[in-house]
Each structure stands twice: as structure tokens, then as C-alpha cells.
Amino acid sequence: MFIGDTIAAISTARGKGGVALLRISGPDAISICQKVFSPKSGKKLSEYASRTAIFGSIYAPDDRGEWNEIDNGLATVFSAPASFTGEDTVEICCHGGILLTQTVLTACLAAGARAAEAGEFTRRAFLNGKMGLSAAEALGDLLEAQTREQLTLAHAGTDGRVERKCREIYDSLCAVLSSVYAKIDYPDEDLAEMSREEMQDALEDSIKRIEKLLDTYRTGHAIAEGIPTVICGKPNVGKSSLYNCIIGRDAAIVTDVEGTTRDVLCEVAALGRVTLRLFDTAGLHETEDVVEKIGIDRARKALEDAELILAVFDGSTAPDEEDRALAESFSGTDATVIAVINKSDLGIVQEEFYTSHFAHTVTLSAKEGRGTESLSALVESCFINGELDTKNDTVLTNARQKGAALSALEAIKRAQEGLDYGLPVELCCSDCEAAMQAIAELDGRAVSEDIVSHIFSHFCVGK
């Protein structure tokens, strides 16, 4: 990708609509647009003030290369750096016909623009310093949002709040580092800004700030990325019924024939404020059926990766050995396990079996859809920190951010230990630098090209 060229794309969704929007961005955006768009006023596009919507004619070349008027519309010029990308940008608003929009784009390309790649406008905004990486990720989340909670969280993140917190921590570490260097370079002079105690305080303060950020991840992840969730249990206890109940439609086959669910289904579903990445699995029972065996192996893998396990039981019958074995199988897991005591419409027997084996239980009828509110309230209480205000607080929402924050935390703790043990101050330099590097990765100032490409490849063309 060459940042000095000018790119164009259709920014609205493909398909027939009232209007469509095309974006041109780069150093030649205005001159390219002038070939495609002519203001009705007779003035040139370049004569208008930035951010003015101008009515005019839109032209495109035909098969013989002759440019003809094909539509009327609006063009809005955004002069650099006051644009989304930070470059000269023109947005053309034309009527939303499928062929028409494509023809206007072809005209922009014929006039000298290059077709933009997926996410390239946002990538340019990031590279031109218009937004940090976490803000760009939040923008991607905003486009993908499927729940109101995701919308709120994603919109909040687009204002660059993660980046601001990172900068505070980075600056504080930078002050520690420069004091350490001053002590090393001029040991006999008192040039360091901070005493050893002040350095320790600054490191402690950074640790607290990062821990506070990390504490938000469980909630942010539960809303934005979704909790990997496995529904498991014996055959016929109502796993598929629960799955369908949560996602709100019949995706899994429900029968009273054992072993109906042979593969692992996965779907993203909202449950109250959280998002579940829900796996409905074949039960974890012994079988000679080859196909069913594959399903069960996949179920085991999904179970290993799960952060939430919904262990379903048929509460209308007394728990048997298989139920006991299942209940006891979760003892070593890090996942949150909820016993779902199903078939409440038939009456529940031996409820104490579940309460004695599980920290969390819920009684419901998947068939009648009764009791699912209790399930969502329980899951929320396990994953959402009620004190966190997702609209106003800074929240980490994805594994990349968490990983970088953890690396920063570990490095600062090493630096702190070095100071605590009275080791020479220079030993704390490399740890401070490692922490600053991790913080710079978190806000995107020093992130690898591969990660940047990976993030922007998930955007659509035109964004």
C-alpha cells in the first residue's frame, strides 16, 4: 500500500437504495473529483470552502471513453487535515442505484483514483494520527454491533479513551526512565527528576492504573467479543431446546431420539447485556457411532476453550450416576459453570443435588421458555461488573488489548521488584522500556504491521 496515492470506494452498502455515498481520499482527491463532478454554480470544486455540500452533475465515461452526465448529486470537500482520513477527501452522494453507484466509482478510477482495499480509509486515519488503534477497533466493533450494549461500548471507544489512558501511563513511565538515565549518566550530580521513592510511587501508580484497566476486560469481552459458552449434558435433557431458546429460533434439531445433535453448532446470541458465542454440542457420552464420536471430540475441545459452561440436567428425574459424574467433572475448570435445571414444567426433584454441586444454579423450562430471565440475570452477575459504566468508563474490549496490558503490567512489576530489592537503578531501565513498548502496542503507536493489517482486513471496503 502506498499512502501517497488517492483511493476511492463506495462507502454505503451494496444494493439499491435512495442514496449512496462514495469516498475519495488522498492528495489528488479534489482534482480527481473535478473530472467526475461539476458544480451547477459553474464554480470549480476547489473554490469552495471545506465541509460545504455542493450540488452538481456527475459524469462517467461510456464504452467509447466519452464522458456523459449520468446523475445529479452532492459533493462535500474535506480539506486535509480536517477529514476522517486526515487527507484531502471528497464524498460524493449520488442516487443509490446499483449500476449507477458502480459507474460513478468506475469514473473515479478512470479519473486517476485507485480502488480502496478493505478498511483502507480507517487505516489511513490511523496512520495519519487521526485515531489510535483501539479507537479504530471500536469503530470496527460499531459496524459489527448486534446488540444495543455493544453499540454503547463501541461508540464510547471511538473517542480514543483507551489511548488517553495509555498516554498517561506511558508519560509516567517515561519520567521514571529519564530519571533513571540521569542517575546513570550523571551519578554525581542531582539531575534526576525523581528520587528512588518517587520512582517507586510512579511505578505503583502505573500498576494500579493498568490493573484497573485489566479489571474492565471481563465485562468488555463479555459484551464486545462474546463469552465462549458450551451447553453440555446427557442426551435428551434439553440442550438443543435451551440453545434454541437462547438464540430465539429453532436452529438446533429437537427430538427425543438420543444423539440427535451430532456436530457442534455455534451462534452468537445476546443474553441480557452479554453476548454469548454459544456452542451446542453432542453430549459427552460414550458411543460407538463414528460420526457421533467426532461430534463428541469437538465438544470436548469447545469445552476446554469455554469461559461459560451451561450444564443442563433434566430436573424432573432423579439425578443418576451420569449426572453425578458430569457435576463432578467441572471441579478443575476455570470456566464459570452454571447448572441449568431444566424441565421445571414437569416439577423438579432433588434440587439439593444441584445446589450442593454447583455455585450457580438456575431452574427453567426450555420447552416453554420460562425462566430464561433468571439465566440471563445470573450470567450478567457473573460477567458484568455492575460498577462499570460502559458509556463513560474506559473499557478494554478485546484480547489484543488485554495481552498488551498484561505484558506492560508484568514488565512494570519486574521494574518495581528491582527497585524494592535495592538493585542498581539501571536494571529497571529495560523493564521500564519493555512496559512502555507494551503500552505503545496497546494504543497502537508501536504495533507490528501484521497486527495492523489483521485488524483492518476485518473492515469492509469503503470504511
For residues 83 and 6, give the distance between their C-alpha atoms in angstroms, rounded to a whole number. Answer: 14
Q: Could you tell me the smallest distance in angstroms from the CB atom of residue 231 to ligand GDP?
A: 8
- Residue 110 has φ and ψ, to the nearest 5°, of -65, -30
| 3 state SS of 76 | strand
SS3 of the chain: helix, strand, coil, percent, to 5: 45, 20, 35
Instruction: Identify whether the C-beta of residue 233 lies closer than 8 Å to the C-beta of residue 239.
Output: yes
Check residue 306 and report its DSSP letter: -
- Chosen residue from 146, 255, 381, 453 binding ligand GDP by CB under 6 A: 255
- Taking each helix axis as running N to C, give the angle between helix 217-224 and helix 196-215, from 0 to 180 degrees, rounded to the nearest 10: 30
Binding piece for ligand GDP, criterion CB under 6 A, among 93-101, 116-124, 359-367, 373-381: 359-367
Binding piece for ligand GDP, criterion CB under 6 A, among 251-259, 375-383, 411-419, 421-429: 251-259
Q: Could you tell me the smallest distance in angstroms from the CB atom of residue 301 to ligand GDP?
A: 19
- Chosen residue from 260, 376, 385, 437 binding ligand GDP by CB under 6 A: 260
Q: Could you tell me the smallest distance in angstroms from the CB atom of residue 229 to ligand GDP?
A: 15
| Segment 155 to 174, residues that bind ligand GDP, using CB under 6 A | none
Instruction: Identify whether the C-beta of residue 225 lies closer than 8 Å to the C-beta of residue 399.
Output: yes
- Chosen residue from 241, 281, 363, 394 binding ligand GDP by CB under 6 A: 241
Instruction: Identify whether the C-beta of residue 312 lies closer than 8 Å to the C-beta of residue 342.
Output: yes
For residues 248 and 252, give the distance between their C-alpha atoms in angstroms, rounded to a whole number. Answer: 11
Task: Compare residues 237 and 411 and give the one whose CB is closer to ligand GDP.
Answer: 237
Q: Could you tell me the smallest distance in angstroms from the CB atom of residue 169 to ligand GDP?
A: 48
* Residue 254 near ligand GDP by CB under 6 A: yes
- What mask of x and - would describe binding to ligand GDP in positions 317 to 346, judged by CB under 6 A? -------------------------xx-xx
* Residue 363 near ligand GDP by CB under 6 A: no
Binding piece for ligand GDP, criterion CB under 6 A, among 84-92, 140-148, 234-242, 455-463: 234-242
Task: Compare residues 255 and 430 and give the one whose CB is closer to ligand GDP.
Answer: 255
- Chosen residue from 86, 132, 160, 238 binding ligand GDP by CB under 6 A: 238
Q: Could you tell me the smallest distance in angstroms from the CB atom of residue 157 to ligand GDP?
A: 37
Q: Which three cell numbers stand for residue 91?
A: 464524498
- Chosen residue from 33, 105, 341, 366 binding ligand GDP by CB under 6 A: 366
For residues 71 and 278, give the distance between their C-alpha atoms in angstroms, rounded to a whole number. Answer: 47
Strands (E), 239-295: 265-271, 274-280
For residues 286 and 357, give the distance between their C-alpha atoms in angstroms, rounded to a whole number. Answer: 23
Using CB atoms, what's the residue nearest to ligand GDP?
A: 238
Task: Compare residues 261 and 397 and give the one whose CB is closer to ligand GDP.
Answer: 261
| 3 state SS of 99 | helix
For residues 378 and 309, give the distance between their C-alpha atoms in angstroms, rounded to a whole number. Answer: 13
Task: Compare residues 236 and 317 and give the one whose CB is closer to ligand GDP.
Answer: 236
- Chosen residue from 235, 374, 417, 440 binding ligand GDP by CB under 6 A: 235
Task: Compare residues 107 and 338 and give the one whose CB is closer to ligand GDP.
Answer: 338
* Residue 76 near ligand GDP by CB under 6 A: no
* Residue 107 near ligand GDP by CB under 6 A: no
Instruction: Identify whether the C-beta of residue 439 lies closer than 8 Å to the C-beta of residue 101.
Output: no
Binding piece for ligand GDP, criterion CB under 6 A, among 144-152, 232-240, 324-332, 447-455: 232-240
- Chosen residue from 147, 240, 361, 401 binding ligand GDP by CB under 6 A: 240
**Residue carrying C-alpha cell 457420552:** 285
Task: Compare residues 67 and 330 and give the one whose CB is closer to ligand GDP.
Answer: 330
For residues 66 and 60, give the distance between their C-alpha atoms in angstroms, rounded to a whole number. Answer: 8
Q: What is the CA radius of gyration of the chain?
A: 29
For residues 151 and 157, give the distance between their C-alpha atoms in angstroms, rounded to a whole number. Answer: 10
* Residue 372 near ligand GDP by CB under 6 A: no
Q: Could you tell me the smallest distance in angstroms from the CB atom of residue 363 to ligand GDP?
A: 10
* Residue 369 near ligand GDP by CB under 6 A: no
**What spatial distance separates the first Cα and last Cα of the chain, rounded to whole Å?**
16
* Residue 371 near ligand GDP by CB under 6 A: no
- Residue 14 has φ and ψ, to the nearest 5°, of -65, 145
Angstrom distances, CA of residue 320 to CA of 36, 76, 323, 354, 369: 75, 70, 5, 12, 25
For residues 101 and 122, give the distance between their C-alpha atoms in angstroms, rounded to a whole number. Answer: 21
Q: Which residues bind ligand GDP (CB under 6 A)?
A: 233, 235-241, 254-256, 260-261, 342-343, 345-346, 365-367
